[in-house]
Amino acid sequence: MSLDVSISAAAAALAVMLIFWVISLIRRDASIADIAWGLVFVAIAWSSWAAGGRSVAGLIAALAVTVWGVRLAVYIGIRNAGHGEDRRYQAMRAKRPSRFWLWSLFGVFILQGLLALIVSLPIQSLGAVDDASPGIVAWLGLAIFIAGLGFEAIGDAQLAAFKRDPANRGQVMDRGLWRYTRHPNYFGDSLLWWGIWLIAIGSGASWWTLVGPALMTFMLVRVSGVALLESDMAERRPGYAEYIRRTSSFIPRPPAD
């Protein structure tokens, strides 16, 4: 791992998160951190490529991450528009109303920037390889990335269409990809980061950077994804307990019924 690449990536992550933190103070809406999440990876990817060997494999990875990060940011921005601050951040704000402005800098934005730096270790490692040419494993990784991106994007689109139909208000989304996993978007997100890791190691980067996709998968399953979303879903949505019974929580499989 190159020190120059690591410093450049950290500086890019810090700059993005500080900008979005200031915007959150102006708007009094920390939900904007969700939009920053995708874009901070874009900044890390390009700063790593620019500070490193500027290899073909690094360029492919940076372009792939850009497509993912921009799509995610646009999707979340459109989804959240006009809805005010997400209730997760409202709960955080209620616990510390007088000092949330400062707490959010470290407890939300800087924290997410640090997590992004760990998840993006394969990209940073790839940037440190001066002559990284994609091999067979790297092309396999790109195929896995595309599959994961498709899974995430299709899952998001299907859920958005479901929510737009007034007839589905209060109902459980169990159609399309959601028939096979309760969280196709999270599964796709995890899959594409394993694809990025394969692109990296298939081009000469360090194998130990699997810490990145492993952390992303852990967060999606145990921390900010499946576990958080489902903590009270069964109480708020009639039929969700039955949906849990018959549908895989993460890895797609045919429903139990």
Check: CB of residue 225 under 8 Å from CB of residue 183.
yes
Question: Which carries the bigger pLDDT value, residue 128 or residue 31?
Answer: 31
- For residue 73, the SS3 value is helix
Q: Is the pLDDT of residue 27 over 90?
A: yes
Q: Tell me the C-alpha distance between 99 and 105, whole Å.
A: 10
Give pLDDT, residue 181: 95
Give pLDDT, residue 141: 97
- The 8-class DSSP code of residue 29 comes to -
**How do residues 94-113 score in pLDDT, each as one tens digit?**
999 999 999 999 999 999 99
**How do residues 141-174 score in pLDDT, each as one tens digit?**
999 999 999 999 999 999 999 999 998 888 888 8
Check: CB of residue 112 under 8 Å from CB of residue 40.
yes
Residue 39 — pLDDT band, cuts 50, 70, 90? very high
Comparing C-alpha atoms, which of 70, 75, 23 is closest to residue 45? 70
Sign of the alpha-carbon torsion through 204, 207, 208, 211: positive
Q: Return the exposure string of 145-181: e unless at least 16 CB atoms fall within 10 Å of the residue's CB, then b.
A: beebbebbbebbebbeebeeeeeeeeebbbeebbbbb
Give pLDDT, residue 124: 94
Element (H, E) at 121: helix 121-127
**How do residues 195-232 score in pLDDT, each as one tens digit?**
999 999 999 888 999 999 999 999 999 887 677 677 66
Q: Which two tokens stand for residue 237?
A: 């949505």
Q: Which two tokens stand for residue 144?
A: 């896995």
Amino acid making up residue 212: G
Give pLDDT, residue 192: 98
Residue 234 — pLDDT band, cuts 50, 70, 90? low
Alpha-carbon 27 to chain mean position = 23
Q: Tell me the C-alpha distance between 15 and 28, whole Å.
A: 20
